[in-house]
Structure 1
Amino acid sequence: MHILEDLQARGLVNQTTDEEGLQKHLSQEQVTLYCGFDPTGDSLHIGHLLPLLILKRFQKAGHRPIALVGGGTGMIGDPSGRSTERQLNSEDTVRYFSNQIEGQMAKILEFDQGENAAVARNNLDWLKDLTMIEFLRDVGKHFGINYMLAKDSVESRIEHGISFTEFSYMILQSYDFLNLFREENCTLQLGGSDQWGNITAGLELIRRTSSEGEEAKAFGLTVPLITKADGSKFGKTAGGAIWLDPEKTTPYEFYQFWINTDDRDVINFLHYFTFLSLDEIDELRKEVEEQPEKRVAQRRLAEEVTRLVHDDQALQQAQKITEALFSGELKDLTGSEIEQGFKDVPTHYLEEQEKGLIDLLVEAKISSSKRQAREDIQNGAIYINGERQQDMKYTVTEKDRIDETFTIIRRGKKKYFLIRFS
């Protein structure tokens, strides 16, 4: 199947500047394409994952992707999709963010794969030497104010105010496309649906600066905004964004995000975020319709995306933690797995080497009083590392520690508490 047809079948095409021309272009030659990612933080999140995976889809189809980090534009701020001005970061901060993001891109794209190996570029490399006079004479003169005001990214901000800094962002992004077109023969820019105005502005700049008689063959393609069936924002949880950095969102948390996907969303997400064939996704669709309680599609989604963003070892670890929490068999977990799986549970730090269970339940605020602690133990509501404990005189000692550091206490069916020994 043609790459463009596959993207359309998966619902991944929002707009193209010339669908027929692009399809012909992609069929006739290897195409160099790019997508830009501004380093506004030290990690990408799963909202960035979709365009990254589309770059990968093009690479698997034989084309050459450029992953552009906006080390220059990241110091300006894109007004697209925002109602307020971005906070400006220092050059050192943006450089650090850029390095972090480049490392994450290298986990998704193949940077050492022969003729169509992906390349990383940073637009600071060409923007830092661009003088104000050059910018105004050679680039700015091609942009009419009325043309810029008509763009959604600008028009939506006029009422609340937009600085000249952010107003100029469109021109800088257009210059990126022009530079990559000239230096790398890059003829296709990808972006989210909010980037349509910036992408078409870049195409216009390429057209205007091309020599007479020269064919300015370049295209733009945007991907749709992902929405969830329940109306909530994709990629957000009660704990915040889902990051690609395992230090910010652990592989277990990442896995859990995908495995908890709504039945109404899971097939769409399989199309968007996995490389499973359309036929295989159709089989999973039948599973959702006929046996939704088994959550086969959700497990497959979680497996595929966790393996893709992290690796097989991280996936196996996430699955091990999930199974241990489901079964209550916690003793086989390692210290690092406990830190992942119990990252957000109440934690009590204990300096003593051993502690009476009743006193520990009260001190760690697992039970509200000694009387309640006795009732909890007597009623069989207290579990230590997955095993029920009904001995009123029980003392938690070194033998109850996992990895010499942790003891997991459960009260009732689902209330977990972590005891961490100093």
Structure 2
Amino acid sequence: MSARVLVLNCGSSSIKYQLIDTEDAAVLARGLVERIGEEHGEVHHESRGTSTNHQLEIPDHEAGLKAMLEVFDAAGPSLADADVTAVGHRVVHGGEAYSGPVVIDDAVEDTIDQLSALAPLHNPPNLVGIRVARQVLGDLPHVAVFDTAFHQTLPPAAYTYALDTGIAHHHGVRRYGFHGTSVAYVARTAAEYLERDPQRTNLIVLHLGNGASATAIRAGRSVDTSMGLTPLEGLVMGSRSGDVDPGVLLHLLRSGQLSVDDLDELLNRRSGMIGLCGERDLRTVHRLAADGDAAARLARDVYCHRIRHYVGAYLAVLGETHAVVFTGGVGENDAWVRSRSLSGLRGLGIEVDHVRNSSQMRRPRLISPDGARTAVLVVPTDEELEIARQAVAVVSP
């Protein structure tokens, strides 16, 4: 059977795609359909070492997927001749319904729709992409890969909030965790780098990007993670708050004259690094801090303090920890954040070699000194490859 998968990640106004051969991890083509529903849409496509860009009217996702198919036909490789095995879809929230990838049928669509209450910003556009793709590419099996699935191994003590049990159960309130597709890929890759059996490896994975999370992995399974019912909880992010005393929200409702919608806007779009210093891009924050901007310096310190806080907590959760692993846009590229986040942990067996940490290699690498009790790694993530591999595993006989 062919091992080629078309991976789709559908947002509210965009479609990211890759055509991947899972046998050798080769990306045969990749692209982005963006500005769907705006006056002028755009299609960016890369294949065979060349790139093409088109501007055209893209009123909806159906038009966006058809534009994608047309650029495949024009610029290659032709999907009709590419022997595609399946279409893999990234879906953010699978709730308690899915602990792994699943072939999509109407019942799966309905469940994803019902779970939109838990991920109102993500599941609806994911579902639109699935429905349209099943119409446009109806001759192929479609597979949903859920960001929450990897964390379905969390023990009850880790996923249960100390709320009234009846209310929590009625509304599906528990820790679900996110970034699971990325963490699954990174954890397996880290174990391979360490030449260890994944089922005998304990890791702390720090996925640091515009969204950020920490995950404790024992014997290859997620046992604790920082994101909760939604992707808001945990680490400081680009525009999301991370951990906040829930009493703060009650205080703002009562005395700050903020509505529920105002709080949603505050926590998701006006907090995190933007809320602290007005910038979400760490590169800009570093420049401001170097110029003496006190708000930028504090923002960096808060960001790294929260990471160190979770590393310490997860060392306690795991006991023996074989590696701390950085991934994501910030985790893979920001040496200052990596060093600062782990500073002061030498007594716990964790330290960073500053020469190794400064390397810009785009492959898994060690950044701790020789002989350190706990390795520190940088592992570039590849969510699309992980989605493709999971899709192939589901549809293969």
Larger Rg: 1
Same-fold status (TM-score > 0.5):
no
Shorter-chain TM-score range: under 0.3
Query: TM-score, with normalisation over the residues of structure 1?
Result: 0.25
Between structures 1 and 2, the one with greater helix share? 1
Query: TM-score, with normalisation over the residues of structure 2?
Result: 0.26
